[in-house]
Amino acid sequence: MSPKVAPWFSLDPHVARRRSRERLVLALVAAAWPAFVGLVPPLAGTPAGWVFLPMFVAPLVAARLLGPGWAVAYGAAGPGFNCATAALPVGMLMPLLTLELAIFGAAAAWLDRRMDKPVVPVLFALALAKLGVLGTAYLLPDLVPLGQTPFGFVTATTAAAWPGMILLGLLHAALAAGRQAPGKAAPSPTLVA
């Protein structure tokens, strides 16, 4: 019989405590990592947050360890929480970034359960998130920073973020190697007689 992954809600106090600890660690990472990356000086005039994508870490880890609901929650709450703790991101980027991170969290959780390869779900989730931002930016052009077209804005932020995409792919590969995703049963061991 194959071992089962703990359900989203459990009456077992040990499982509930472990899940609470995981959520607490994710909340601390969601707060500390973007604030730390925000201290890094701009790289060639581009803010370090745009290059290393620190706010994408918490939704990715939540997608892998806690499931889709938590991934969307961490993605949607990340920009507001980061703004409250580190005064980043500023003003008009908040709605687009909140949408992008929520889409990323949902897509990463959904794709992670359907694809067995590491890294690939992250790249597809990033692409879906960017498409969601692009569509929203065309529908609501006032959300795009002044002087940029929606396509130019999405292209510029994507081109600057390739180091962060690589880091997210490596993080996903490490998570995939280290722990079975919720909803996926571990392969059952075969007994040789």
Condensed to tens digits (0 to 9), the pLDDT of residues 150-162 reads 999 899 889 989 9
* Residue 90 pLDDT: 66
Confidence check: pLDDT of 56 > 80: yes
Q: Where are the domains of the chain?
A: 13-178
Per-residue pLDDT, averaged over 80-108, amounts to 83
77 versus 8: the higher-pLDDT residue is 77
Q: What CATH number belongs to 13-178? A: 1.10.1760.20
* Residue 143 pLDDT: 85
Dist. CA 53–CA 45, nearest whole Å: 16
